[in-house]
Chains A and B, each alone.
Chain A
Amino acid sequence: MEASMAEVIVNGEARRADVPPHTLLVAWLREGLGLTGTHIGCDTSQCGACNILLDGIPAKACTLLVPQAWGHEVTTIEGLARDGALHPMQAAFREAHGLQCGFCTPGMVMAGIGIALRHGPDVSAETVRHELEGNLCRCTGYQNIVAAIRAGARAMAEAGLLPAREQADAAV
């Protein structure tokens, strides 16, 4: 393995990632880079607290080895804000009070971005609930989270962050 290949673009910045290959992506983000916004919840691929964006698509950082991200782009919750302004999905969670203790929130925001990308700005509450099957919240309940994701999806569209409707319709 050439050293130059062991690199991951994290939140827009190329980072050296020449760690032992059995290192989990979530462990490297948290312990190697100090990006502790990505949480470890169940650690068994079920709760979604560790969701990050891998090349723009939500994935579980507890179920990825660092080498699987070599040469790819990873976005963590720390990398969503632009120029000091929250990402529209983050802002929607704040506005709708879509969190209580906040532990699941980074993963929920990532899942919400994925839902918006797949289903567009007019996603129904029922679809959001179904699409959250990979995320667990143990305190707020889902009511406000669902409201936040629907508002966030609309705000992402207004900000020009969603693909044209045709593409969103084709995605599942």
Chain B
Amino acid sequence: MQPFELVRPTSAAEAAAAFRGDAAYLAGGHTLIPAMKAGLRAVERLIDLGTVPGLDGIGLADGRLWIGAMARHAAVAASPVVRQAIPGLARLAGGIGDPQVRARGTLGGSVANNDPAADYPAAVLALDAVIETDRGVHAAEDFFQGMFATALAEGEIITRVGFRLAEAFAYAKFPHPASRYALAGVAVARLPDGVRVAVTGATLGVVRWPEAEAAIATGAPLPRALDHPDLASDLHAGADYRAHLAGVMLARAARAIASGA
């Protein structure tokens, strides 16, 4: 790993002030550190958000479930507040990586990184969430901008994410057997004003699936496969396989919704 200067701020403002040059924020580190080890990422300055207090709260306000950016996956999975408000979101968090990953990985890190196979972005998009930062608020719809790209400006820090309280929410994924990342994952949310479906893993970045939304809303037959111009294809799974798998995951998530998830 390339050497870097470490900054350990004690507030978000201090962290943002330290962001200059080729810098990166460290949240749980379970994507960034492997990338740095593999030489895919080198930074001059690493700013550890783990020393900033107050970024991991979980609570209900203004019709939303708010989860702090530094809330670890295990904490979200075990949270009575999350389990009560959006049980499917607690299950999603409890299915990320493995127990050791969940002990360290964070919501903010996952969302800011926007890995095309990560689980959280699908929930953020399906639950029409807002991403609150030290500078303002982003709607999920505008936030995810393709593989590893987001609306975050240079040095902008996610502070918390507000999920809408769905009438029902379910997430189904087919995990890669080693990495546990989604080869295809589908999140379905029934909100007061409609159904939202988001797909991760199958495309080059998280996307909504309008045909699936319409089918669930009207009770029409579900699409059997995902038809999308940006299907992912790599050594783990080809485009056709992923498109089909997305259809299978959609059926599972839709079934869970119908049975009252």
Contact = CB atoms under 8 A, between A and B. Distances in A.
Interface stretch (B100-108, B119-127, B198-206): B100-108
Interface string B24-56: 001001100110111000000010101000000
Interface string A51-95: 100100111101111011000000000000000000000000000
Interface stretch (A31-39, A41-49, A96-104, A155-163): A41-49
A60 B99 contact: no
A106 interface: no
B97 A134 contact: yes
A59 B103 contact: yes
A20 B36 CA distance: 15
Interface string B88-101: 00100010011111
Nearest to B177: A133
A133 B33 CA distance: 20
A20 B1 CA distance: 11
Interface string B1-38: 11111101000000000000000001001100110111
B3 A67 contact: no
Question: Which of A63, A65, A172 neighbours the largest number of chain B CB atoms within 10 Å of its CB?
Answer: A172
Contact of A64 (B29, B36, B179, B180): B29
Contact of B48 (A24, A45, A68): A68
A160 to B, nearest CB: 22
A58 B4 CA distance: 27
A118 interface: yes
A20 B37 CA distance: 15
A45 B36 CA distance: 12
A134 B6 contact: no
Contact of B99 (A22, A58, A63, A68): A58
B182 to A, nearest CB: 14
Contact of B6 (A24, A67, A111, A171): A67
Contacts of A68: 26, 29, 48, 50
Contacts of A133: 98-99, 180
Given A45-B34, A63-B33, A1 B8 contact: yes
A164 to B, nearest CB: 15
B80 interface: yes
A110 to B, nearest CB: 8
A43 B78 contact: no
Query: A-side binding surface: helix, strand, loop or mixed?
Result: mixed
A120 interface: no
B103 A57 contact: yes
A131 B99 contact: yes
B48 A22 contact: no
B29 A65 contact: yes
Question: Which of A64, A65, A67 neighbours the largest number of chain B CB atoms within 10 Å of its CB?
Answer: A65
Contacts of B94: 172
A21 interface: yes
A163 to B, nearest CB: 12
B118 to A, nearest CB: 14
Interface string B110-153: 00000000000000000000000000000000000000000000
Contact of B100 (A1, A43, A59): A59
B230 to A, nearest CB: 27
5 contacts: A45-B30, A58-B99, A58-B100, A133-B99, A135-B98
